[in-house]
A and B are shown apart, each in its own frame.
Chain A
Amino acid sequence: MSGRFKPVHAGSALASGAAVPATPRDVPYHGGAMNPAVETLRARFPGAVRRADVVWGETTIIVDRNQVHDVIRWLHDDQTQRYDYLSDVTAVEYRDLERPIEVVWHLRSLPFRRFLRVKALIEKGSSMEVPSVWDIYKSADWLERECYDMFGITFAGHPDLRRLLMWEQYKEGFPLRKDFPLRGRFSRSEQLRQALAANPEARYSKDELSIADAFEELPADMRRRLGAGERTGE
């Protein structure tokens, strides 16, 4: 085990003697105890929290999209919050085309055993850009790439915003958007032609994390080829 990682024990930051949170029972659909972070956030970032709801015992806050990065940075850094685990970044588009697209961050505080869902609204017709939280949570890397791949949301500040699930040359658009036809935009033969045109081995570059870590252990000729900016297999 590398010494760079310090284990985090769930609930370790709770005051001694405090009731250990257990799986809640009889949770109401709406209402109930709100996450204590919301009150602090309202005081600290006036106007940033537009709405806060408790649904099935989980708190959702809707945050001004320009302040999302500051809010999440504070939730991560503050010693009374310690939201140290980003479990998901995704987006929601509703069938009601008037409703804005929501970008959702699922934050979890392991030391305090708390959960908070942060949302930002993208009004229809406005820019699809929201700030990236990659500089706060490294796990946001592929989550944001997937969200970009499926919804076309650009995360400003992401170091390497490319498609993740679809191949990089995919031209048909963003599959999980409501205006995307289920079978895709092109005919089946055209889809197959474009897919077969891809080089199955040209997937990895030196910059990709797994290769970059093992770079020194690669064979000499591969080191030379990758060092010259070549992609493997081409």
Chain B
Amino acid sequence: MGLSPRPEPNLTEISGDEPWITTKLDAFVNWGRKNSLWPMPFGTACCAIEFMATAASKYDIARFGMERQAFSPRQADLLICAGRVPFKLAPVLRRIWQQMPQPKWCISMGACASTGGMFDNYAVVQGIDSIIPVDVYVPGCPPRPEGLLYGILMLQKKIMNERSSDKSLRSEMEPDPTTQLYIPPSVIDEVSEPFGNSIHQTRSGL
């Protein structure tokens, strides 16, 4: 899986009395951001157990710069939603996402958070991406720690490709003031059909 750290090709050292480097600002900022993510676990179900295993000593996400778990959204920049989200929790998750400062990213961990999973019933949100934008979906029921680590590495790759000239990356979502939805209702209905989410997983802009 390529878990060992590699030197970044964009960083070049020029020898001399004073060491100095030249690089693109984006590459430098992104390199710093991707290696110092502060994740906030939003654990509601069994996926949170796997998340704990990922954070514990054997798998140890501190190797990827996530030394500090943030348990306050105001000091976090990565929301890891681990587990099913019932409709009663939907406004809570939305509020937590809005409390996080930019830059921020979201990983939807597991089948339930990504699609509602096997809970295709009256109580469970069919994919948290109908509430908040999601950057990486990690499949599995629950995903093994290796799976979550792979998702985190995918997110780091995505962060590395961000450009500061792209203002849309850092713009806050603006939900419709009357319905509080940020994607059209017809799209929500469509992807909430059985298997709807698995064939329409490009809607958060990935």
Contacts and interface: CB of A to CB of B under 8 A. Distances in A.
Chain B CB within 10 A, most for which of A172, A181, A187, A199: A187
A189 B188 contact: yes
B181 A196 contact: yes
Interface string A185-213: 00111111111111110000000000000
A82 B113 CA distance: 47
Contacts of A199: 91
Interface in B95-139: 95, 120-123, 125-126, 130-131
B92 interface: yes
Nearest to B96: A200
Contact of A192 (B120, B121, B131, B186): B131
Given A172-B122, A191-B122, 13 more contacts: A181-B122, A183-B120, A188-B189, A189-B181, A189-B185, A189-B192, A192-B87, A192-B125, A192-B131, A193-B180, A194-B87, A195-B88, A195-B91
- Give the bracket for the number of chain B residues in contact with chain A: 20 to 34
A194 B94 CA distance: 13
Contacts of A197: 91, 180
Contacts of B131: 192, 196
Interface in B141-198: 175, 179-181, 185-186, 188-189, 192
A38 to B, nearest CB: 39
Contact of B130 (A183, A192, A200): A192
Given A172-B122, A192-B181, A197-B180, A166 B91 contact: no
Contacts of A194: 87
Nearest to B85: A195
Chain A interface helix/strand/loop/mixed: loop
B90 interface: yes
Interface residues of A, number: 24
Contacts of A214: none
A180 interface: yes
A178 to B, nearest CB: 14
B129 to A, nearest CB: 11
Contacts of A193: 179-181, 185
A120 to B, nearest CB: 27
A184 interface: yes
A192 B179 CA distance: 9
8 contacts: A167-B88, A188-B192, A191-B122, A192-B87, A192-B181, A192-B188, A195-B87, A195-B91
A188 B126 contact: yes
Nearest to A186: B122
Contacts of B186: 189
Nearest to B186: A189
A180 B185 contact: no
Contacts of B92: 200
A173 to B, nearest CB: 9
A196 B90 contact: yes
Nearest to B179: A193
Contact of B122 (A175, A189, A190, A198): A175
